[in-house]
Every structure is written in structure tokens, then in C-alpha cells.
Structure 1
């Protein structure tokens, strides 16, 4: 009986141990299964201001464009080995000569005017990336992969490689049509120069990158692409002595104009004096001038009026004498 009792207890303990082992083993299997699943399937997410390009990359398929991952997506299922490259869809800028995002390290673009003066020009370009899936895939395959433009550093390198040369070319081509003073202090000519440079840049950029990959700053993916915003600040001579000379010339011209106005006013006054002298005579004019200036005070006294005149007061003879 004692042996039987001992055998029963041991059997019960062994049964509980087997159940626990099965539970742990089952948990390990589940974990391994999850690991396998997460290695077989990828999940992709995008920020609200970025769009993703999904490319196949498995061992049984080509590395080709498969789909677009919309902005703000969370845990989109993609295939094993697949890759998502994300690009910005918000307004972007390329600025030469100012602080801010995507700023070129160079201070300004150097151009030569029609009268052979070297000018420094600062430029701001504002734009967005074209979201059409075929255009975007083409941009990625032609430009993005080569420059790593899907990264922040690669994006800036892309702008430096493709935007800056075309800006230089556009400004240099247009600047030769204007004298430096026209661009420096003539707002109408400066606006004309900016418009011409913008058109030239808009023509050069697609040819350089191989497509209409960039749209205007108001583009949102559902409206017309539009033109990039291209703004030029006042072109300034690199030789500051030229500006000093222009300012000195302008001061001299202003002084000359002021003197001419003064001379003209004096001539008008002199002609008026001459007319009055001819009418009143020299003494009459002097008397009129003295009365007008307040140096002589007088009053008209009708004849027959009983008025006492202080001794020493000057009087004029009655009219008609």
C-alpha cells in the first residue's frame, strides 16, 4: 500500500510537469512563428508630409516599383525584402544668400551685366515635388537613387547638384541684357530681369533633371502642377566703390537740381520786382516793400476828419495834390 501511494504521488507530479512543459513549448513556438512572420512580411509607415515609394526586393521577384504609400500611413503590409523610399510632399525651398532650410553655402550668384560689371545676386526658389506616381517613380530611379534624395542630406545634395547650376546659367544668360545701374536702382528693370530669369530657369531645370519633377509651391497633388516660385533680390556690384561712385553722382545731381530750382525761383522773384518798379517807380516800390514788411505803419485819414496826428509822424499829401 505504501508503494502504491508513493507511485500515485509521483505520477501526479509528472503529469503537472508535462503540462507546464507543453505550455512553455507552445509559447516558444508562437514566438518563433511571430519572428518568422515579421521576417517574411514587412510593415511600412509614412509621416504626414512624406510619400512612400514601395519597391519589390524579394528573392523571387524583381526590384521594381510596386505602389505608392500615401502620406500619414501606418503599418502598411509589404512583401519580404521590399523597400519603401519616402520623399517630402510639403513646400520646399532652395535659397542662395540667406539662412533657412536647404540653403546653399555660397552667398550669392555672380553674373556680369551688359556694361561688364560683376554683380552678386541672391535667389529664393520655392517648390513642391510632383506626386504623380509615374513621375515620382521616374524621379526616384533617375535622380533619387543616385543622390540618396530620400534622405535629408541626399535631398540637399540633389538640390545643390541640379538646382544651383541651372540658376547660375539662367541668371548669367539674362543679366547680359541689362546695364548694372538698371538692375541696381530701377525697379521696373529689376522686375523684368526676374521674370526673364524665372522663365529661363523653368526651361533649363526639366531638361537637366529629365522630367517635370517639380511643381509650384501651391501644388497639393490634386491641382495643376504650376510653376516654381523664383525670386531675385537686388543685384549688387561686387566692387562697392561702384556703388559709392553712383551715390556721389546722385548726390551731385540732386544738388544741381536743387540749385536750378533755387535759381528759377530767384528769377521769377526778380521779374516780379522789375514789373513793380516799372509800375511804382523805385521809391514807390521801396515804400511798398517797407509797408509790407511792417517797417512803416500808416493809416488813411479822410479829408475833414478831426484827427490829431502825433508830432514827428510822417504823413502823405492828400490825394490830388
Structure 2
């Protein structure tokens, strides 16, 4: 068989008046798929919507497009065309909080307490919760995304994440940018109070003129409220200064607990136990004094009425005694006693 004549009779594909061979046809199909498939993916991915708890900043991302912000999509939107291959940065739209606690249920795993010194040098453990909202004004939100949505932040676990990368990314942003501001404000405010003004039992182990003073008569709750109010006054300004704008609103810090170092708390517990023993001893002394006064009064009565003394003696004889012998060979039968 003449293979040359057979190949010459195989059908070809005409393209622009030219007949294409098998290799060229395959190249044409691959090229078409390379264009069509990304176009389909880009079209499908170009539709976006938000739920009620998030707001979205959309940035251009096409092959020939820039990376500038295209639009902001408000919370709870319907399906919206966001453009070919656009990148969507999703941020929390509802009130958020950042918890600092020793229970292990805070935003950082494990024990997380801000340790700051009081004015008299005692390290105080501060626990509380920071509440805030992200400013949803479109212009402000676009500024925030330009400043903080285009970089990554190191979280408490050491991993680098974007602020819009889910809850973990948002927590990483708070850990690196907001947490130092909170710590600094707590340090400044707590440092203006003595230990006993925030934890009244601290007075048990602090020398006042050479002697430890028992706790009492001093309200630590009022001073804790003062610290909390001062923090709420300064925190808004400090966060605005740190971020460079009013990106967070409705800022409030709730100071929930002030604790002492383990060594100081152990000393407080020991002192409290000692004061309890002192109180118990004082109670016994008071009881003894009362008993002595009662005996003295009773003796004066017996001196005035000797027969009364004998009557009381008879009354004090146990019921199982049948004969009472007061002495001098005298005895008194107690039958029927």
C-alpha cells in the first residue's frame, strides 16, 4: 500500500483558507481551552455575596488589571458581580471582642494575663475583655484595607496571616497591633495605684510602720472602676493614634479581675489564717473573762447566803448518787433525788 497516497487523502481542517494538519489542530484546541477555561472560572468566581456578619472589600485581580480597590460590599448583600478574578477581603461587621483571661478561654491559648506593676512595686495580674466594632464607612474601610489588608501579621502561634483570613487572621491582627496598646494602657493606669487599693487583702502582707495591717475598711472595687474608666478614656485615643485613623469604634474595656502573684497570694493566705487564729484566741479570752466575772458574782451571792451554796451543791449532784457525804462523818441519804 502506498502510505504516501493514503496520508494525502486524510481529511484536514481548513482555517482561513488553509488546511491544518493534526498537530496544528491539537495546538488550536489546547489554545482555545487555555482561554475558555480560565474565562469560565473567572466568570463563576466573579460573583460575590456577604452574610450578615461580614463586610467585603473587593480588589481588582485580572491578568491585565491593577490591584486597586474596586468596591465595598455591605453586610447581608445579594449576589453581586465583583469582576473577573477579583480578590475579596472579608472583615467582621458585628461587634467583636478580645478576651484576656487565665482560664484558657481567651483569644490566646493557655494562660493569658497582663502583668503590670502597682505603684508600690507589686506585679498585678489583669484580666478583662476588649469590645469594639470595625468602622463600616466605605471610605474609612477602604483606607483600612490599604493599610492593613495588604500585609500579614504574626499571631500568638507564630504563623503569618492576613487580617481578612478568617477568625485566625483577625486575631493575628489584634495580637500584633491592638494588644500592645491595651497592655500599655493597663500598665499606665495600674501604676497609679498601690497594691492594697486594688486588692484589699494585699494590706495583710505589706508593712505599715513595721507591722502588717489587716484588710478591711478600704474599697478595692471603687478603685478598679476608676482604672477601668481611665482605660476607656485613653484607649480610644491610643488606638486611633496607633492605627492612624478611626478604624475601630465603640471601644470599651471591661476589667474583670485583678490577681496577685502566686508568692504574694500564698503570703496573703497565710496571713489570713494567722488572723483567723488570733480572732479565735481573742474569742476564748473574752469567754474566760466572762466566766470569771460570772463566778465572782456567784461567789458574792454565796457569801451573802451560805444556804444557797448548799442548795446549788445538792442540785449539782448526779442522779445516780444515792448518798451525799459532805464530811465530818455526816451523810445525807438521797433517795428520791
Tell me if both proteins adopt one fold, taking TM over 0.5 as the criterion. yes
Residues 38, 154 of structure 1: alpha-carbon distance in 2 compared, 3 angstrom cutoff: closer
Task: In structure 2, list runs of 5 or more residues that go unmatched.
Answer: 1-31, 153-161, 202-219, 320-331
User: 1:52: how far off?
Assistant: 0.9
| Deviations 1:214-239, CA, capped at 9 Å, x for gaps | 24xxxxxxxxxx332433423221xx
Tell me, what secondary structure is at the counterpart of 2:258?
Answer: coil
Q: How does 1:224-243 map to 2 (within 5 A)?
A: 226-237=250-261, 240-243=262-265
Is it true that 1:76 corresponds to 2:100 in the alignment? Answer: no
Measured in 1, the distance between the counterparts of 2:236 and 2:270 equals 39
Superposed CA RMSD: 3.9
Contact 1:50 1:90 in 2 (8 A): yes
Partner of 1:149: 163
Q: Match for residue 211 of structure 1?
A: 245
Does the residue aligned with 2:151 lie in a helix, a strand or coil?
Answer: helix
How far is the alpha carbon of 1:173 from its aligned partner? Answer: 0.9
Contact 1:94 1:104 in 2 (8 A): no
Aligned residues: 262
Distance 2:122 2:285 in 1: 37
- Per-residue CA deviation, residues 10-37 of structure 1 (Å, 9 max, x unaligned), is xxxxxxxxxxxxxxxxxx9xx9599479
Is the strand fraction higher in 1 or 2? Answer: 2
| Aligned-partner Cα distance in 1 for 2:253–2:165 | 24
Q: 1:235 to 1:198 in 2, by over 3 A?
A: farther
1:117 corresponding residue in structure 2: 122
**Quick check: 1:93–1:127 contact (8 Å CA) kept in 2?**
yes
Counterpart of 2:18 in structure 1 is none
- Correspondence 1:162-173 to 2 at 5 A: 162-173=177-188
Q: Structure 1 residues 48 and 108, CA, compared in 2 at 3 Å: closer, same or farther?
A: same
CA distance in 2, matches of 1:203, 1:293: 81
Q: Which has the higher helix share?
A: 1
SS at match of 1:227: strand
Structure 1 or 2, whichever has the larger Rg, is: 1
Cα deviation, 1:123-178, whole Å, max 9, x if unaligned, reads 33233322222332232223332343111343222111222111211111122223
Aligned 8 A contact 2:48 2:79 in 1: yes
Closer/same/farther in 2, CA of residues 47 and 293 from structure 1, 3 Å limit: farther
SS at match of 2:164: coil
Distance 2:316 2:134 in 1: 78
**How far does the alpha carbon of each residue in 1:56-115 deviate from its partner, in whole angstroms, 9 at most, with x for none?**
567998755454312243531134464432111234332334434742677322211222
Deviation at 1:290, TM superposition (A): 4.4
Partner of 1:256: 278
TM-score scaled by structure 2?
Answer: 0.62
Q: 2:133·2:251 contact (CA, 8 Å) conserved in 1?
A: no
Matching of residues 3-82 of structure 1 within 5 Å: 35=39, 42-56=46-60, 64-80=68-84, 82=86
Cα contact 2:59–2:86 (8 A) shared by 1: yes
In structure 2, the CA distance between the partners of 1:119 and 1:293, relative to structure 1 (3 Å rule), is farther
Contact 1:277–1:285 at 8 Å: present in 2 too?
Answer: no
Q: 2-side partners of 1:138 and 1:208: how far apart?
A: 14
Can you list the C-alpha shifts for 1:242-264, whole angstroms capped at 9, x where unaligned? 22222221111121122222222
Identify the match of residue 90 of structure 1 among 94, 103, 115. 94
Q: Please say if 1:312 is aligned against 2:336.
A: no
Instruction: Determine if contact 2:124/2:258 at 8 Å carries over to the other structure.
Output: no
Q: Classify 1:75/1:253 alpha carbon distance in 2 versus 1 (closer, same or farther; 3 Å).
A: same
* Partner residue in 1 for 2:174: 159
CA distance in 2, matches of 1:202, 1:44: 33
